A and B are shown apart, each in its own frame.
Chain A
Amino acid sequence: MSRNLLEFKSVSKSYLENQVLKDVSFDIRAGEIHALIGENGAGKSTLMNILFGMPVIHSTGGFEGSIELEGQKLDIMSPFDAMAAGIGMVHQEFMLIPGFTIAENIKLNREIEKKSLLNTITSRLFGKRMKTLDFKQMNKDARAALDKLEMNIEEFTLVQGLPIGYMQFVEIAREIDKTGLKLLVLDEPTAVLTESEADSLLQAMKNLAARGISIVFISHRLGEITAVADRVTILRDGELVITKDVKDTNTLEIAEYMIGRKVSIEREICETRKFTDAEIALSVKDLHVAMPNERVKGVEFEVRKGEIFGIGGLAGQGKLGIANGIMGLYETRGEVTINGEPMPLNKTRKMLDAGVAFVSEDRKEVGLLIEDSIRHNIMFTSMNIHSEFLKAGLIDKKAIREHARKMIKDLDIRCTSEKQRTGRLSGGNQQKVCVARALTQKPNVLFVSEPTRGIDIGAKKLILDLLMELSSNGMTIIMTSSELAELCSICDRIAIICEGEVVGVLPPDASPTKFGLMMSGIKDVEEEVQS
């Protein structure tokens, strides 16, 4: 177990100005299960992209540092080099062709050609690709790989219609079938599985490791990491925090390492605001939303009038689905009450009419009419729902101009004029246009999702200050964000979402450990802390 299989040596990578990996060094031993953990943007995916020589790395100038496999420097320029070196990966998105059998999928583009006289002749005449395939041998190989995983399913079953857990196993079987597999990377393999499926996967991982195959296990589920991994490496903001033996650590410590202590934006209002007496502005019960990759599976919370309610959690856990679902952008089921009034779901217009506004996380596709002017962007929702800015049914250009100019001044939107195309604005100013449009609706409840994504630090502060100001004027704000620091800086309460459910609601000054544990789906934080 002590022999080093793979070694990352001071690996750094930056995209333009933005450094995403800083001097990361650690090693992976032969036959160990090595967990890799970190928040979104910690650099896990970048590290794996480097390991697999993804085009995105090489088209942006490569990386610094080196990777060594069994003491030899690796020169991986494409995923196929990685494959040749014996490194395999199972992605979160399955690379399976549904209309093919399990065996055909396992042998995808590595099909075995029949050795026959006819094949020798046809390949001479028409090229190698006209050789017929040896399906018998392909099935046999697939059977062997499936047997290693203790999977009893027939190798000639179509992948179409298999349970997701089986698909995952087929993916792993494909990697096993590749000759000389030394290292297998599993990216959040248990995220899509049921509990029993996850259990059998973890068992299969142990079996593989016992056969001498090293496994890099990327997961946010601390419980699983402590259950199967030998060592764990924690990344935060592109830096290596620590690599530790799992037996020397616990979930609590890992969570703390993952979140860290620093809070980048200081909280300006020192005392926590109290809202216990205020009326309930928004109440959500048993909310389910079918947003792809951000499914919500039964969320419940209440927000009081004037409060800023934060929704946090890791990517893909469903936090973005909540606002999108309530606004009727994806199929939704559950109960939503606004100012005491039960609301019909899946009807965007009814929500808008009730005074709910939404600043989407997807600025370019959902938030803005990117080819249109600032003034049109600011007013079009209002015009539609309140029939504002209309004079005898025609667009009242004067009113629009005045309103747009006022908004540009109030929100400090940097532009040449109110007629400028929003596509030409910077990210921060685009975001301000989105907010301006929401404000023009004169909402009493405002959903903002990822308000500071992709904008610079100065604009960030402006937007957060603006939200703060709106809140003190009595607006109820529900802010969804991947940045915990930002949530902590302005929210009054923060709900953490994991696997589509609310794990818990924390005050902004709670310890990072608590946030970290909750993001991993551990509910009984107090218990965990005490034990």
Chain B
Amino acid sequence: MANNNIWNGEKIRTFLLDNIVMLVFLGFVVLGFVVSDTFTPSSFTNDILVRFFRNGVLVLALIIPVMAGLGLNFGIVVGAIAGVLSIIFVRYNYTLFPGLGGLLLCFAIATPIAILFGYLTGKLYNKTKGQEMIASLVVGFFAEGIYMIFILFVVGAIIPVRWGHRMVNPVPEGVRPMGIRSSFEMGLPAEEMTGRGMQDALPGMARALNNIWRMEFVYALAAVSVVMFIFLVVRRIIMKKNPGLLTIRNEPLWAFILKIALCGAVVAFSIYSSATIYYWYYILANTPDINRLDLLPGISNFAVEISRINNVPVVTGLVIAAVGLFTVYFTRTKLGQDCRSVGQNKHIATVSGIDVDRTRIIATIISTVLAAWGMIIFLQDMGHVSTYTVHRNIGFFSVAAILVGGATAAKASVKNAMIGLVLFHAMFIVSPAVGLFFFNDGNAGEYMRTFMVYGVIGVSLGLYVWKANKAAKDKERLR
């Protein structure tokens, strides 16, 4: 590894092969920007932010099963169902549990349900060793079946529901009501109820978590950069002093300086853009007309636009950060180490005395619980629930996102999840524009999305298996 910095043909080839999915997505997003003039920096950033905070925990839920060798857990759908069930229960009794309190109750109710579901799913994975990903797909469909019986039939036929409740299917008077409506609202939060006649209404759960504290994007960006800056410096110090303690042991100086400089630049930009806004608002006492940004000189144009985004749900962000930190912390625990051993080689783990089956079940439970919480966060952001379909694409979209971030069925990290979240949803946002450009039809964007989602899963898994087979074959090569 003496020629660490020299890029030869072979190295470029492996780099391309390892990052092909990410590069294709990046290319797609750039293409979207080039062919379309509808995106402004602010609208695009805003859309990304919304989707980032909406899906963050769901994607993070995938990391621990990958570590434990279970592959990509499409079965987070089961956790999502646990989340929806808890919301149905709390929302049905909305008079008892309004607002943020109700939402917190959702988390509390979803957790035990998800633990049970995760335990059963984990049992199934242990029975289907080597085929966990297929099992996880099927368990999602199977769980959907049971879930539908529950909300269509059991609710009403066995569990009595009130006639005329807004969540229950409407029936003529005197007929026994049965089943949950195909969609329902989560109810506006107190601060959004500004219309007439709403002053007396009970606050709902929509955006209850997000609205606790909203922050301007530039400030959030600056805060994240500062934290990142401290993290990088501390990591560098540990790396120099005691390299055995970290998984990353070799960071070239130029890479470190580049990262530090990037953090610094972001902080500087944040200061600059808020200063610009401050200047416009307070010094000139002149609200910038968003339609006349051409009046502004140069970069301040961009800076002002970015500054107008006041949409960072801090508490949701902190929850995502906490789940990410937990995942990292987990890898440093005995259980995490066992998970990694099991994930790398079940046989060696067994001979070393690790209870492989139990470890795998725990990993599945953690993933399922995180998925349930993730689903609640997802739905509180959306504000309404399509009862029968909302859980359906959760597995596919989350898996696609983490794959785009550079994860494989054998390796996934918080970094992969974060990059994937941004890149995958950027694709989602530019798809209609690309569809419009190539097919002259915005609806073709929907086709593009589907194509990209299943394409990324297919390509990633195909590449992964191809590489694994190649490695196995190389072992049988003549030397």
A241 at the B interface (CB under 8 A): no
A25 at the B interface (CB under 8 A): no
10 contacts across the A-B interface (CB closer than 8 A):
A97-B341, A97-B344, A97-B348, A100-B341, A129-B335, A130-B334, A130-B335, A132-B329, A289-B478, A332-B478
User: CB distance B476 to A292 under 8 Å?
Assistant: yes
A399 at the B interface (CB under 8 A): no
User: CB distance B340 to A111 under 8 Å?
Assistant: no
Q: In the complex where A79-B351, A109-B353 touch, is A331 in contact with B333 (Cβ < 8 A)? A: no
Question: For chain B residues 461-479, which have a beta carbon within 8 Å of chain A?
Answer: 475-479
**Shortest Cβ distance from residue B199 to the other chain A in the assembled complex, whole angstroms:** 43
B332 at the A interface (CB under 8 A): yes
**Shortest Cβ distance from residue A9 to the other chain B in the assembled complex, whole angstroms:** 28
* A129 to B362 alpha-carbon distance, docked (Å): 11
| Pairs A-B, 9 closest by C-beta atoms | A156-B244, A129-B335, A109-B352, A139-B244, A290-B478, A97-B344, A129-B334, A108-B352, A132-B332
- Could you say which of A128, A136, A290 contacts B334, with CB atoms under 8 Å apart? A128
User: CB distance A288 to B475 under 8 Å?
Assistant: no
User: CB distance A333 to B345 under 8 Å?
Assistant: no
**Shortest Cβ distance from residue B276 to the other chain A in the assembled complex, whole angstroms:** 44
* A146 to B332 alpha-carbon distance, docked (Å): 23
User: CB distance A136 to B245 under 8 Å?
Assistant: yes
B242 at the A interface (CB under 8 A): yes
A192 at the B interface (CB under 8 A): no
- Could you mark each residue 106-130 of chain A with 1 if its beta carbon is under 8 Å from any beta carbon of chain B, else 0? 0011010100000000000000111
Q: In the complex where A97-B345, A292-B476, A330-B476 touch, is A155 in contact with B351 (Cβ < 8 A)? A: no
Complex contacts, B381 vs chain A, CB 8 Å: none
Q: Which residue from chain A places its CB closest to the CB of B411 in the assembled complex?
A: A99
* A138 to B243 alpha-carbon distance, docked (Å): 13
User: CB distance A95 to B244 under 8 Å?
Assistant: no
- Could you say which of B333, B351, B354 contacts A132, with CB atoms under 8 Å apart? B333
Question: For chain B residues 237-263, which have a beta carbon within 8 Å of chain A?
Answer: 242-245, 249
User: CB distance A131 to B242 under 8 Å?
Assistant: no
Complex contacts, A290 vs chain B, CB 8 Å: 476-479
User: CB distance A135 to B478 under 8 Å?
Assistant: no
* A111 to B341 alpha-carbon distance, docked (Å): 12
User: CB distance A99 to B340 under 8 Å?
Assistant: yes
A104 at the B interface (CB under 8 A): yes
* A80 to B350 alpha-carbon distance, docked (Å): 12
* A186 to B335 alpha-carbon distance, docked (Å): 31
User: CB distance A108 to B348 under 8 Å?
Assistant: yes
A191 at the B interface (CB under 8 A): no
Q: How large is the interface on A (under 10, 10 to 19, 20 to 34, 35 or more residues)?
A: 35 or more
Complex contacts, A97 vs chain B, CB 8 Å: 341, 344-345, 348
User: CB distance A331 to B476 under 8 Å?
Assistant: yes
**Shortest Cβ distance from residue A68 to the other chain B in the assembled complex, whole angstroms:** 25
Q: Which residue from chain B places its CB closest to the CB of A174 in the assembled complex?
A: B352
Chain B positions within 8 Å of A, measured between CB atoms, are 242-245, 249, 329, 332-335, 337-338, 340-341, 344-345, 348-349, 351-354, 475-479
* A103 to B245 alpha-carbon distance, docked (Å): 11
- Could you say which of B242, B244, B249, B348 contacts A103, with CB atoms under 8 Å apart? B244
Complex contacts, A95 vs chain B, CB 8 Å: 348, 351-352
* A100 to B479 alpha-carbon distance, docked (Å): 26
* A286 to B242 alpha-carbon distance, docked (Å): 50
**Shortest Cβ distance from residue B305 to the other chain A in the assembled complex, whole angstroms:** 44
Q: Which residue from chain B places its CB closest to the CB of A129 in the assembled complex?
A: B335
* A109 to B348 alpha-carbon distance, docked (Å): 10
User: CB distance B341 to A109 under 8 Å?
Assistant: yes
Q: In the complex where A108-B348, A136-B244 touch, is A113 in contact with B334 (Cβ < 8 A)? A: yes
* A155 to B340 alpha-carbon distance, docked (Å): 19
**Shortest Cβ distance from residue B280 to the other chain A in the assembled complex, whole angstroms:** 48
User: CB distance B354 to A155 under 8 Å?
Assistant: no
Complex contacts, B243 vs chain A, CB 8 Å: 154, 156
**Shortest Cβ distance from residue B155 to the other chain A in the assembled complex, whole angstroms:** 34
Given A104-B337, A132-B333, 20 additional A-B pairs, CB 8 A: A97-B348, A99-B340, A101-B244, A103-B244, A108-B348, A113-B334, A128-B334, A129-B333, A129-B338, A131-B333, A133-B332, A133-B337, A135-B244, A139-B244, A154-B243, A156-B249, A289-B478, A330-B476, A331-B477, A332-B478
**Shortest Cβ distance from residue B479 to the other chain A in the assembled complex, whole angstroms:** 8
Helix, strand, loop or mixed for chain B's interface? helix
**Shortest Cβ distance from residue A62 to the other chain B in the assembled complex, whole angstroms:** 21
- Could you say which of B334, B349, B351 contacts A131, with CB atoms under 8 Å apart? B334
User: CB distance B335 to A331 under 8 Å?
Assistant: no
Q: In the complex where A97-B348, A99-B340 touch, is A288 in contact with B333 (Cβ < 8 A)? A: no
Q: Which residue from chain B places its CB closest to the CB of A140 in the assembled complex?
A: B244
Complex contacts, B352 vs chain A, CB 8 Å: 95, 108-109
Complex contacts, B341 vs chain A, CB 8 Å: 97, 100, 108-109
Q: Which residue from chain B places its CB closest to the CB of A155 in the assembled complex?
A: B244
* A509 to B332 alpha-carbon distance, docked (Å): 64
Interface centre among A104, A133, A333 (most CB of B within 10 A): A133
Interface centre among B333, B335, B351, B479 (most CB of A within 10 A): B333
Complex contacts, A288 vs chain B, CB 8 Å: 478
Complex contacts, A79 vs chain B, CB 8 Å: 351
* A104 to B338 alpha-carbon distance, docked (Å): 11
User: CB distance B242 to A133 under 8 Å?
Assistant: no
**Shortest Cβ distance from residue B58 to the other chain A in the assembled complex, whole angstroms:** 23
**Shortest Cβ distance from residue B81 to the other chain A in the assembled complex, whole angstroms:** 25
Q: Which residue from chain B places its CB closest to the CB of A288 in the assembled complex?
A: B478
* A349 to B244 alpha-carbon distance, docked (Å): 54
User: CB distance B344 to A80 under 8 Å?
Assistant: no
A223 at the B interface (CB under 8 A): no
Complex contacts, B337 vs chain A, CB 8 Å: 104, 111, 133
- Could you mark each residue 42-84 of chain A with 1 if its beta carbon is under 8 Å from any beta carbon of chain B, else 0? 0000000000000000000000000000000000000110000
A505 at the B interface (CB under 8 A): no
Complex contacts, B340 vs chain A, CB 8 Å: 99-100
**Shortest Cβ distance from residue B345 to the other chain A in the assembled complex, whole angstroms:** 5
User: CB distance A109 to B476 under 8 Å?
Assistant: no
* A95 to B478 alpha-carbon distance, docked (Å): 24
* A79 to B350 alpha-carbon distance, docked (Å): 11
Q: In the complex where A128-B334, A133-B333 touch, is A333 in contact with B478 (Cβ < 8 A)? A: yes
Q: Which residue from chain B places its CB closest to the CB of A130 in the assembled complex?
A: B333
Complex contacts, B333 vs chain A, CB 8 Å: 129-133
* A268 to B289 alpha-carbon distance, docked (Å): 109
Complex contacts, A156 vs chain B, CB 8 Å: 243-244, 249
* A289 to B354 alpha-carbon distance, docked (Å): 37
* A292 to B475 alpha-carbon distance, docked (Å): 8
A454 at the B interface (CB under 8 A): no
User: CB distance B348 to A96 under 8 Å?
Assistant: yes
**Shortest Cβ distance from residue B362 to the other chain A in the assembled complex, whole angstroms:** 8
Complex contacts, A129 vs chain B, CB 8 Å: 333-335, 338
Question: For chain A residues 122-178, which have a beta carbon within 8 Å of chain B?
Answer: 128-133, 135-136, 139, 154-156
Complex contacts, A130 vs chain B, CB 8 Å: 333-335
A342 at the B interface (CB under 8 A): no
User: CB distance A331 to B334 under 8 Å?
Assistant: no
A507 at the B interface (CB under 8 A): no
Complex contacts, A131 vs chain B, CB 8 Å: 333-334
Complex contacts, B335 vs chain A, CB 8 Å: 129-130
Complex contacts, A180 vs chain B, CB 8 Å: none
Complex contacts, A155 vs chain B, CB 8 Å: 244
Complex contacts, A340 vs chain B, CB 8 Å: none
* A139 to B244 alpha-carbon distance, docked (Å): 7
* A359 to B478 alpha-carbon distance, docked (Å): 24
A98 at the B interface (CB under 8 A): yes
Q: Which residue from chain A places its CB closest to the CB of B349 in the assembled complex?
A: A109
Interface centre among A97, A331, A333 (most CB of B within 10 A): A97
